[in-house]
Structure 1
Amino acid sequence: MSDVDPRDAIVDHVPALRAFALSLSRNPADADDLVQEAIVKAWSNFDKFEQGTNLRAWLFTILRNAYYSRGRKRRREVSDPDSIHTRGMAVGPSHDGHLAMSDFERAFAQLSDEHREVLVLVGAEGFSYEDVANMLGVAVGTIKSRVNRARKRLAELMGLDDGESPVIEAETGTRAALSNSTFTVT
């Protein structure tokens, strides 16, 4: 048995691995990727290498398996360099898009301080009615009434029909949703 660590011998096999990878892939960039992948896999699985066996054969087997795994994966993939297929898979928003974030911001700014406060605390921050009641020093019923009136007033200012539930998406990714049960900004 040799005292030499097989990890130290990997570098000696890189040129042969690259030549083998190039013969399989017929593409220099893919060959380099395969060699790198084989070395990483070998390095992370050295506990499975049996000392005294042929290191080069073990590395070539890993590289070969990586090549065929890539081939199987690529057969399941569809090439779409111009994003033709991807564009066809896009799904529009679930709402009709008639509501812009600026309309929401304008309407929200017109609410009273009490209404903005409860909508932010209950809806955006997710506090319970009880928590908000404790924070503001009022009864839970008062908070429930304020939230209900604030939602109705906001819907009115935005010109929404009863039960209509807008979703607003801003350029920044801010999302605000108003429904009969909750108001959220995420």
Structure 2
Amino acid sequence: MNPQGSASLKAELLGAIPSLRAFAMSLSGNIDRADDLVQETLVKAWSNLGSFTEGTNMSAWLFTILRNIFYSEYRKRRREVADPEGQIAARLASAPSQNSHMDFLDFQDALQQLSPDQREALILVGASGMSYEEAADICGCAVGTMKSRVNRARNRLGQLLAMASEDGADGDTAWNPAEPAMDKLLRAGE
């Protein structure tokens, strides 16, 4: 690897950090764990930079590494009792006056209720803007499977958010699916 190529690879690695962090946050649901996942991904990528082929998709390579780290840890921890970090504290906190913040919390909660495969598919295609083909390559599945996962995730997320808006029907404004960020995920792949 020449010094010029090395500098461009470093720049690509650094440029991918915000997307990696968002993806890690969507998988883990915990900002501290997301930061750890991104750090582990970058360390692993840096130590294996020699195996990366310049000119190929750096983001896809990094997303695959992050995904593999997450699922390896998930398999190790699935027999452990889940620690509901922050969930109890969120219930004890006083409710903010801004409806959009509460809507986002409902959305975040609903997103975490999706299965990991569905959540991953929705984030890759809907939030990260990847094509079905790129997302299928990252997840190691067929394009049709990816389309199905996105569709099921979108439908399930809509159901969960509809239930959340019915639960909170105390005179406050219900969740508005026309809000851009949430709507983008719900319409992923259309």
TM class by shorter chain equals 0.3 to 0.5
Question: Under a length normalisation based on structure 1, what TM-score does the superposition of the two structures give?
Answer: 0.39
- Between the two structures, name the one with larger relative contact order (CA 8 Å, sep ≥ 6): 2
The structure that is strand-richer by fraction is 1
The structure that is helix-richer by fraction is 2
